[in-house]
Structure 1
Amino acid sequence: MLTLAVETSCLTASCAIVQDNRVIAEISTNHGKTHSQKIMPMINTTLSAVGKELNDVDLFAASIGPGSFTGIRIGVVTIKALAYSLKRPVCGVSTLDALAFTMPDFNGVISPMLDARNNQVYSAFYRKTDNALERLYEESGIKIEDWIEQAQTFGEGILVLGDAFELHYDRLKSELGSLLNNSPQSNIFPRASATALLAEKSYRDNRSISPFELKPLYVRKSQAERMKDKPKSDDKK
């Protein structure tokens, strides 16, 4: 079985191919071009690297968020179009699930944390044993102080990874002390290989969907939507 996945929810974009639960190719890029400019060239380059073509792909997958609203849409729309044209099933994978999955088993709680701006983070809490991931809290976009409050309820070691970790490190260390563990620098961004591996597992568990069913996972409204909903001040006196 050949699975192709893309990850476009963050600053770094990646594409990976997994064959029968084994990563055979992965390309990541983080430079000036937008995801819309580089996603198809990345897909073509990744396939070419292992001598495959789009028609060889059995399953398509995309990271569905949370993360960059624009980036997520680009990845989801691209995968939907490819899968529809080739009549293939798809799987959507949570960005936070994929990020947590990259970590080895940990005797404690794992929490991927992505910057959501305005002192907020996209995050969730997991346990990982025997390479199996258990989500303890659903994905959410929350203030960093609310994340700290949730983390303290566990009362045990917590492994934090993602691009928001360094941003909020001083406060996290102050509040959590010795309970705080950090991941290697290489785990700042989610990877398409994790998305592909989780997608393949979903397929084996009969949880693949049609291209029409693939949708982004937005855990909060976009900035434009929040501004639209904000009450307008009454200038009339």
Structure 2
Amino acid sequence: MSEFLLSVDCSSGWTSLGLAEDGEGVGELNLRTGRRQSELLPVMVDFFLNTRSLKVSDVSFYSVAVGPGSFTGIKVGIVFTQFLAWAEGKKVIPLSSLEILALDTACSGGMILPLLWAGGGKIYASLYRNKEGENVLEESFHEGAYTPEEISGMIESWKGENIIQWVTDAPEKIKGLFGQRVPSTLRHGLSRGISAAKLAWSKRGEA
């Protein structure tokens, strides 16, 4: 009998759902919901599961993005996911929003720098090493809210070892803070539901 994992990410202006079946990503729903997350999340989950002829009781594991990101969105996602899991006696796997974003970029060997807008002149960031040929990330710099200068120092310490791929959900804001230090390869990315589901499946032992 198949095991299903449902991922929930409300850490930005997007609400992202992902579904994994026995470790394979089989579906996702990514919708820009803005401040309507608490209103739309239950409807989205019901619709999403129905597209696979599934019910909440069919889900074996849940995962939820616990930040960094929008405080309100994160709270909505955590409370809703924990309620579903509690009602069915299932476990919840916490995920980093930055790691989800990095995993969606991990297509070749090298370093990945996911960046999320934090406001106040700071950026949520971390640095991950992507093992070439493997869908595995290793955190090389602890995630947190940093100034552009601190992030530049982080990059400098790894310069020359690996190619560093920048990815962010707010490219124009990042360019405004970093100016000419932003590489031409800066990628505009989103934390996709299917990436979260696959990441959570690999972390089932942490639930």
By the TM > 0.5 criterion, same fold? yes
Q: Secondary structure at the match of 1:106?
A: coil
**Structure 2 match to 1:134:** 138
Distance 1:32 1:114 in 2: 16
**Structure 1 match to 2:170:** 164
Distance 2:60 2:99 in 1: 22
**Structure 1 match to 2:92:** 90
CA contact (8 A) 1:5 1:15 kept: yes
Shift of 1:171: 5.3
**Structure 1 match to 2:154:** 150
Instruction: Spell out structure 1 runs of 4+ moving beyond 6 A.
Output: none
Distance 1:155 1:201 in 2: 29
Distance 2:149 2:89 in 1: 45
- CA distance 1:202–1:175, change in 2 (3 Å): same
Shift of 1:176: 5.8
Q: Which amino acid aligns with 1:175?
A: R
CA contact (8 A) 1:25 1:49 kept: no
Larger radius of gyration: 1
**Structure 2 match to 1:79:** 81
Tell me the matched-pair count.
201
Distance 1:36 1:151 in 2: 37
Shift of 1:151: 1.2
CA contact (8 A) 1:158 1:181 kept: no
Distance 1:105 1:181 in 2: 14
Q: Secondary structure at the match of 1:46?
A: helix
CA contact (8 A) 1:93 1:199 kept: yes
Q: Which runs of 5+ in 2 are unaligned?
A: none
Distance 1:73 1:168 in 2: 25
Q: Secondary structure at the match of 1:40?
A: helix
Distance 2:95 2:34 in 1: 26
- CA distance 1:51–1:64, change in 2 (3 Å): same
Where in structure 2 are the equivalents of 1:147-226 lying within 5 Å? 147-156=151-160, 157-169=163-175, 172=178, 174-175=180-181, 181-183=185-187, 185=188, 187=189, 189-203=190-204, 206-208=205-207
Distance 1:33 1:71 in 2: 8
**Structure 2 match to 1:13:** 15
**Structure 2 match to 1:222:** none
TM-score, normalised relative to structure 2: 0.90
Q: Which amino acid aligns with 1:133?
A: L
Distance 1:14 1:105 in 2: 21
Distance 1:149 1:30 in 2: 33
Computed over aligned residues only, the root mean square deviation of the Cα atoms, in angstroms, reads 1.7
- CA distance 1:108–1:23, change in 2 (3 Å): closer
Distance 1:182 1:106 in 2: 15
CA contact (8 A) 2:123 2:145 kept: yes
Which one of the candidate residues 76, 98, 104 is aligned to 2:106?
104
Per-residue deviation, residues 154-202 of structure 1 (Å, max 9, x unmatched): 113321111233312255462365xx6322x4x2x21222221111111
| Identity among equivalent pairs (%) | 25
